[in-house]
Chain A
Amino acid sequence: MSVFEGFRFRRVLSPIHQLDPRAKFFYVCTVFVIAVMFNQLMPLILLFLIQLPFVLAAGVQKEWIRSMKGASFLALMIFLFNFLFTYFYREYPTFPPSSSLMEYSLAMTLRFIVLVESFSIFFLTTSPDRLGLALEQSHIPYEFCFAFTTAVRFVPVLAEEAQTIMDAQKARGLELERGNFIKRIRNYIPILIPLIVSAIRRSLELAEAMESRAWGATNKRTNLYVLKIARGDYILAIISIGMLVLAVYVWLFMREQIPSLIPWITG
C-alpha cells in the first residue's frame, strides 16, 4: 500500500499545487520522453535531481519519500533482472561482468525511479477535482471524466474497506500467510468477495444518488470553477520545452560524448 500512499493527494497550498494540471501533465510527459531517450547514467541522474526543487516547493517531501521507498523494491527487481539477464545473454561466461553492464542496469533502474518520481509529484500535487476539470476542458466526454475522477476518489475508500474486511476475517481465525502458494491465494477469497460485493452495492447506490441529482439532464454542463492558464503554467511549459529541446539536441549531436560514470563508481 505504501506505493499508493505516495500518490495520494493532500490538500496543501503551494505554488506547485496551484499549477494547471495540463501544464504539469505536459511536464510529466516531457520527463517521461527524456527518460526513455537516454540509457546512460549521467542524464538520468540530472533528470532525477532537476525534479527535487519541485518536491521541496510543493512541500510534499514526506509523502514523496514514502513513495520512493515503496518503489524501491520494484527498483531493486528491475536492477537485478536487467543485470542478470543481460549478463547471461551477452557476457556469460566472462567474469566479472563488465562495468558498462553495471552502468546500463543502474541506468534502467534510475529510469524507472525518475518515472515514479515525476508521476508521484503529479498526483501528490493535483487534486482529483482539478484533474477532472482538466480532462473536461480538454474536450474529453464528461462521462469518461466523471468515471475517472470517481474511480480515483474511491481508491482510498476501497483501501480502507479492504483493511476492515481483512481485520474482520482475521478475527475469525483466517491466517493469510498460512499454507503453500495456491492456499495463500485462496486465503484471499474471504476478503475479495465482501470487497467486490460492497463495491457493486456502492456503485448501484452511487448511480441512484446521481440520478436523483439529475445526472445528464443537460448536454452542455457548465462549471463553477474554470481552469485558466496562468503565468506559472507558461513558465513550467517553457521549462519543459527547454528541457526537451536540450535533450533532443544532446541526443542528436552529443550522444557519444556523454561521459560514463563507472570510473567514479568503481573508483
Chain B
Amino acid sequence: MIEVKDIFFTYPNNVKALKGVSLNIREGDFVAIMGQNGAGKTTLVKHFNGLLKPTKGAVIVNGVDTREESVAKLSRGVGFVFQNPDNQLFCETVEEEVAFALRNFGFEDKIVQKRVEWAINLLGLAKHRQSSPFMLSGGERKRVALASVLAWNPDVVILDEPTIGQDYKQKEKLRQFIVQLNAQGKTVVVVTHDVEFVAECNPRVVLMAQGEIVVDGDAKHVLTNAKLVTKASIVPPQISQIFMGLTDLGLPIDIIDVYEARDILLDFLGGDL
C-alpha cells in the first residue's frame, strides 16, 4: 500500500530531517510512529500523500511514485489529519467545512450531502452542524477536522499528534474511534509521542530518532525494550515501568496491557482477590 524506499529528505534550510528511511505499510495496518520532537515523524508522513517529495529514494503509494502524482490525487486515497485543526478550518459552518474536501474531489452534490451527514454523525457533531467552527472547543474543532477528512472515505488515514491538548476523556474516545476505524479495515497511521495512548491501542510501532528508524515492531516488544526506548528518548508506559522494576521477582518485562498485568500479578501472588 505505502512503500517507503530508503528515502532522504533535506529541508531548504539544510536540516537533514530524514536519513535513509525504509518502511512498508500494508493494507489494514495500524501503525504508530513514535519518537521525540524533531525526530522527523511529521516529515515522514508528509511523504505519504506527496506533500513532500523525497530528496533521494522513492515513496510508492498504491503502485504510484508520489513524485509523479499531485497531492490532490494522492490525498483521495490517503487522508491526512493535521496536528492543529486551526490550520485548516475556514468555513462559516461545520457542514461546509466537512463538504469542502468533497467538493474539491468532485463528488456530486447529492453524494456530498450524504457524506457530510454521515461524517457529522460519525463524530457526534450533529448538534453543531450550523455552528461556526471557530466557536467550537478545541476537542470539537479536532473532531471537525477529522470528520472533514473521513468524509471522503480515504483508504489510509494519517493522524498527526491527535492526542495533543486533549483531556483524558477525549483521548479515550479518540482511541476507541481509531481502533474502530482500523477494525473496519482502514489503514491507520498515528504519529504521536503519547506512550500510554499507544500502549492501550497495541499497534505496530515504528520508533524514530534523528531522522532514522530505530526499530519497527510490536508495541509490546518495542515499548518494553529499555535500550531502544532510551535511544528514542521516550518513557515506557507506567505499567511496564512497574514490571521493569520487578524483574528480580522473575516476572516478564514485556507487559503493556493493564489487564494482562493484573492477571500475571494475581497469578504470582498465588491467589485471587
Contacts and interface: CB of A to CB of B under 8 A. Distances in A.
A91 interface: no
B38 to A, nearest CB: 14
A197 B148 CA distance: 19
Contact of B86 (A175, A190, A197): A197
Contacts of B88: 165, 168-169, 172, 190, 194
Nearest to A193: B90
A83 to B, nearest CB: 33
B105 interface: yes
Given A168-B82, A168-B88, A194-B90, A173 B75 contact: yes
B149 interface: yes
Given A164-B82, A170-B51, A175 B89 contact: no
Given A167-B46, A170-B51, A172-B149, A198 B86 contact: yes
Interface string A159-200: 001001101111111110000000000000110011001100
Contacts of A201: 86
B100 A172 contact: yes
Contacts of A165: 87-88
B146 to A, nearest CB: 12
Interface string B70-83: 11100110011010
B90 A190 contact: yes
Contacts of A171: 49, 51, 71, 75, 79-80, 82, 149
Task: Please tell me the size bucket of the interface on B.
Answer: 20 to 34
Contacts, number: 62
B46 A173 contact: no
A167 B197 CA distance: 26
A172 B104 contact: yes
Interface in B144-162: 148-149, 152
A174 B148 CA distance: 13
A173 B154 CA distance: 12
Interface string A15-51: 0000000000000000000000000000000000000
A194 B87 contact: yes
Contacts of A193: 90
B261 interface: no
B101 interface: yes
Given A164-B82, A164-B87, A194-B86, A174 B72 contact: yes
A198 B72 CA distance: 25
B87 A161 contact: yes
A173 B51 contact: no
A123 to B, nearest CB: 17
B72 A173 contact: yes
Contacts of B76: 173
Interface of B: 12, 46, 49, 51, 70-72, 75-76, 79-80, 82, 84, 86-90, 100-101, 104-105, 134, 148-149, 152
8 contacts: A170-B71, A173-B76, A173-B104, A175-B104, A190-B88, A194-B88, A194-B90, A197-B90
Given A168-B82, A172-B75, A173-B105, 13 more contacts: A164-B84, A167-B51, A169-B88, A170-B72, A172-B100, A172-B149, A173-B72, A173-B75, A190-B90, A194-B89, A194-B90, A198-B87, A201-B86
